[in-house]
Each structure stands twice: as structure tokens, then as C-alpha cells.
């Protein structure tokens, strides 16, 4: 019942480890193996779980959630999931709240949506994924630091959160600090202002795992770089793990001192490449499953989104969210026409701008002529026909006027361009080989 209520991903991540400890008065006693799981389940699934319990037993008015290591939990006494006997958890009493450790005050929250289980792996990110998973699963240091870089919205932050979440789940006693480079800088500046740099140093140099996101933002901040350099060295000397992310490789980071760039490249540097069509489609299929909408979104809509939205994963998932929300809130069936209507602003922004220069280069390569022949005065058929094809495609695929196209082809008159367009249109109906050439070039240029 829990699985069907919250979905397979949420169940496996958060609810499968719930165990029934017993019933006490009007409360059901449940346990989980770690404090982190207790706090998360209490905060995010409490109300709904209590309602499910009350359906089975109206006497139940609350659920108490405690932490019990696996060895002390009732063997085989897992939380019953048929017929849905799990109810909302009451907020933890103040006395039961976990003590806030110093590193928790500076560490950013770890998003439970970003786990290794729901990270879609493909050629562009398989090395980064494997390296991140190895870091999270081993107490030893396979490589230090791990430096992950790539463009916006390609999965760097997802992997960073997944590492932090997995380490905290597997070994909750380890001190993990995950924060942005900007927050590291803010904490250091505050320590300077309060004349308490010793506490800052003790905090950051005593952690087991330090994870810094978007390290490029400390570029040009000399004092922050100095402290980061010494923190880095202290942790490495003590055998503590460091994980860094950035939008560029260490050697390309401007504004960073050479000694810092050198140390960032000490361990393993992995990059996440732009997504492929296959990877984008896999991400959309996974997202649809998480949303519980896999049966509502036709395959052709997912394929359409994967082809048209190529910039980053965030926009891709956002597009699917908009479509599903429109269908859910307004009651519309999800079709290709509906998706195009709902996403018209986003699709316009993602229309690829094809240039005349790009057309000329692609046509010249296809027909085996020199790029210079696109502008030359040569009239030999072996050159003239590819030039006419390029003019035809320029008119079809760009918003340029006939006079402007003519100028880009060696200063030709617009009537020459008109003649080329008519000629290719005629030949496409009579010459199947040429027609196939033109269609193939069009597909290549449109991506």
C-alpha cells in the first residue's frame, strides 16, 4: 500500500526500512535505522501515513517514530503494507529532537530527490556517476579530490547530493559537510568579522567529507582562496575525502591561484558532457514514472521533448512538469498538440538558429567541393549545383531575405537566388537522388 500510495522510488528510498515496533495506547510505534531517515519521514510523510493508519484502525491517533539500529529491530517484523496500515507521523516532541551538531549548521540540506537510484546514466555521464558512487560506497579514498565539472543543468548537483545522501545513509556517524563555494566564503567572512577564525578552522578541518559546489565562485576572492587552500591541505593530510564541482575544469578556472588549480587536479577529474537524445529520453521516462504519469504521457510526446529541448536537464524536466500539471489541473489529455501549445514559449526559445555559413559548410562537405566555391564565380555544374542547393536550403531554413542570401554567396543578385530555388524545386520532383541529398542535409542541419 505504501508503494502504491507514494510511488516505487519514494518507497524504496524512504519507507522500505520502516519497521513496526508495536502499539502503545492510541499510537503506533515505528522505527528506522538512522536519525536522518527519522527526521525526513516525520517531516514529509507524517500526515498521509497517519491517515492510512486510521483507515485500518480508527483508534490510532498518531505515530511515534524512533531510531533503532538494524540489529535491535524485530526480525521479520517489517511495517505491514497490506492493507495500508501506515498513518501520519506526529511531529517529534522537542525532547526527542536530535542534537544539532556544528557541521549541520553550515551544511546545506541534502535533497532526497537526488539519489543514485534515480540518476539516469548514459555515455555523457557514466564516468562521473561511477566515480561518485565509488566515493560514496568506500570508507577508503579511491581518489582525492574528486572534481566533477560540466555545464549548467547536466547533473553535477544531483551527483553531489547523491554522494552526501548515500554516505549519511550508510555511515551516519561520519561528518559530511556539503555547501556552495559562496556559503564557504560567507562563513569565512563571518568568522573574520566576529574574530573567531579558530572555530571556523576547527569545524571545516575536522569533517570526514567536505563537498563544495560551484568552486568557480571563489575566483578572485584572495582571502577565501587562502583559507580554502589551507583547509584543502589539512583535510588531504588527514586522509579526509574532498569532492568539488564546477562549471569548468581546474585548468580553465580563471581567478584561482595556480597552486589551488594544481591541487584541484590532484585526484580524479571527470566531466559531464551535454546530453544525448537517448539520455534525455531516459531522463523523461524516469521523471514520468516519479510523477506517476507514465501511463498518461504518450511515448511520442516524450520523444518530441527529448528532441526539441536539448539545453539542460532542468528545463527538460520542467517542461514535463508543466505538461503533467496542465493535464492534472485542467483535465486535458496529453497529446503532441497539447504539449506544443503549453510549451510554445519554451520551444521558441529552443529553436536552433541555423546560419548560412553553417549551410554552406555542410553542403560543401557533402558534395565534396571547397567552401570557397560557395562564393566563387565558377559555373561548372560540379560547383554550381551544390551552390544552388545551399541557396535553396538557406531560404528554407533561415529567415534571411533573397538579397541577403545573394550577398552571402559572393555578392550575387537576388534573381540568381530565385533561379536557384526554382531549379532545385524542379529537380527534387524529377531526381530522386538529389531529393534524398537535400532531405538528408535538411535533417542534419536541423539536428
In this predicted structure, the answer to whether residue 194 has a pLDDT above a threshold of 70 is yes
**pLDDT mean over 387-391:** 94
Q: How confident is the model at residue 191, as a pLDDT?
A: 87
Residue in the structure block whose three cell numbers are 537535400: 438
Cell of 232: 584543502
For residues 356-374, give the mean pLDDT.
91
- Residue 243, pLDDT > 90, answer yes
The least confident of 47-56, 119-128, 422-431 is: 47-56
**Between 220 and 97, residue with greater pLDDT:** 220
CB 339 within 8 A of CB 347: no
Confidence of residue 219 (pLDDT cuts 50, 70, 90): confident
* Digit-coded pLDDT (tens) for 412-445: 999 999 999 999 999 988 888 898 889 888 877 8
Q: 3-state SS string over the chain?
A: CHHHHHCHHHHHHHHCCCEEEEEECCEEEEEECCHHHHHHHHHHCHHHHHHHHHHHCCCCCEEEEEECCHHHCCCCCECCCCCCCCCCCCCCCHHHCCCCCHHHHHCCCCCCCCCCCCCCCCCCCHHHHHHHHHHHHCCCCCCCCEEEEECCCCCHHHHHHHHHHHHHHHCCCCCEEEEEHHHHHHHHHHHHHCCCHHHHHHHHCCCCEEEEECHHHHCCCHHHHHHHHHHHHHHHHCCCEEEEEECCCHHHCCCCCHHHHHHHCCCEEEEECCCCHHHHHHHHHHHHHHCCCCCCCCHHHHHHHHHHCCCCHHHHHHHHHHHHHHHHHHCCCCCHHHHHHHCHHHHHHCCCCCCHHHHHHHHHHHHCCCHHHHCCCCCCHHHHHHHHHHHHHHHHHCCCCHHHHHHHCCCCCHHHHHHHHHHHHHHHHHCHHHHHHHHHHHHHHHC
Residues 254-265: pLDDT tens digits?
A: 888 888 888 898
Distance separating alpha carbons of residues 265 and 306, to the nearest angstrom: 34
Q: Is the pLDDT of residue 97 over 70?
A: no
pLDDT of res. 92? 36
Q: Cell numbers of 387, please?
A: 551552390
Over residues 216-238, mean pLDDT: 89
For the cut 80, the answer to whether the pLDDT of residue 409 exceeds it is: yes
Average pLDDT over residues 229-255: 89
Each residue of 276-327: pLDDT tens digit? 888 889 989 988 888 887 778 888 899 888 888 877 788 888 899 999 888 8
In the predicted model, is pLDDT for residue 90 greater than 50?
no
Amino acid at each position: 500500500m505504501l508503494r502504491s500510495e507514494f510511488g516505487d522510488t519514494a518507497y524504496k528510498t524512504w519507507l522500505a526500512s520502516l519497521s513496526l515496533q508495536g502499539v502503545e495506547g492510541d499510537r503506533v510505534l515505528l522505527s528506522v535505522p538512522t536519525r536522518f531517515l527519522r527526521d525526513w519521514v516525520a517531516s514529509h510523510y507524517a500526515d498521509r501515513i497517519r491517515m492510512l493508519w486510521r483507515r485500518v484502525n480508527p483508534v490510532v491517533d498518531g505515530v511515534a517514530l524512533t531510531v533503532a539500529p538494524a540489529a535491535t529491530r524485530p526480525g521479520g517484523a517489517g511495517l505491514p503494507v497490506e492493507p495500508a496500515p501506515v498513518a501520519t507521523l506526529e511531529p517529534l516532541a522537542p525532547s526527542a529532537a536530535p542534537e544539532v551538531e556544528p557541521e549541520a549548521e553550515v551544511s546545506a540540506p541534502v535533497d532526497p530527490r537526488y539519489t543514485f537510484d534515480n540518476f539516469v546514466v548514459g555515455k555523457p555521464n557514466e564516468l562521473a556517476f561511477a566515480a561518485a558512487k565509488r566515493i560514496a560506497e568506500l570508507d577508503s579514498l579511491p581518489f582525492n579530490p574528486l572534481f566533477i565539472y560540466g555545464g549548467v543543468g547536466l547533473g553535477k548537483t544531483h551527483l553531489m547530493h547523491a554522494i552526501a545522501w548515500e554516505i549519511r545513509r550508510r555511515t551516519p556517524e561520519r561528518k559530511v559537510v556539503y555547501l556552495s563555494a559562496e556559503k564557504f566564503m560567507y562563513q569565512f567572512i563571518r568568522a573574520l568579522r566576529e574574530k573567531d577564525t579558530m572555530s571556523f578552522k576547527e569545524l571545516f578541518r575536522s569533517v570526514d567529507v567536505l563537498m563544495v559546489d560551484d568552486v568557480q565562485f571563489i575566483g578572485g576572492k584572495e582571502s577565501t582562496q587562502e583559507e580554502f587552500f589551507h583547509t584543502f591541505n589539512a583535510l588531504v593530510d588527514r586522509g579526509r575525502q574532498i569532492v568539488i564541482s564546477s562549471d569548468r575544469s581546474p585548468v580553465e578556472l580563471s581567478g584561482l591561484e595556480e597552486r589551488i588549480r594544481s591541487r584541484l587536479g590532484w585526484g580524479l577529474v571527470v566531466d559531464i558532457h551535454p546530453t544525448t537524445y537517448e539520455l534525455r529520453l531516459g531522463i523523461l521516462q524516469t521523471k514520468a514514472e516519479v510523477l506517476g504519469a507514465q501511463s498518461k504521457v504518450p511515448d511520442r510526446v516524450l520523444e518530441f521533448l527529448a528532441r526539441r529541448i536539448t539545453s539542460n536537464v532542468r528545463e527538460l524536466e520542467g517542461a514535463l512538469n508543466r505538461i503533467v500539471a496542465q493535464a492534472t489541473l485542467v483535465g486535458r489529455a496529453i497529446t503532441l498538440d497539447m504539449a506544443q501549445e503549453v510549451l510554445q514559449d519554451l520551444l521558441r526559445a529552443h529553436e536552433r538558429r541555423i546560419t548560412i555559413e553553417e549551410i554552406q559548410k555542410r553542403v560543401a562537405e557533402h558534395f565534396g567541393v571547397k567552401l570557397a566555391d560557395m562564393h566563387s564565380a565558377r559555373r561548372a555544374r560540379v560547383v554550381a549545383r551544390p551552390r544552388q542547393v545551399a541557396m535553396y536550403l538557406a531560404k528554407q531554413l533561415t529567415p534571411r531575405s533573397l538579397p541577403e542570401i545573394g550577398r552571402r554567396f559572393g555578392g550575387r543578385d537576388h534573381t540568381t537566388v530565385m533561379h536557384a530555388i526554382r531549379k532545385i524545386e524542379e529537380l527534387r520532383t524529377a531526381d530522386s537522388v538529389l531529393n534524398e541529398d537535400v532531405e538528408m542535409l535538411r535533417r542534419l542541419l536541423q539536428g
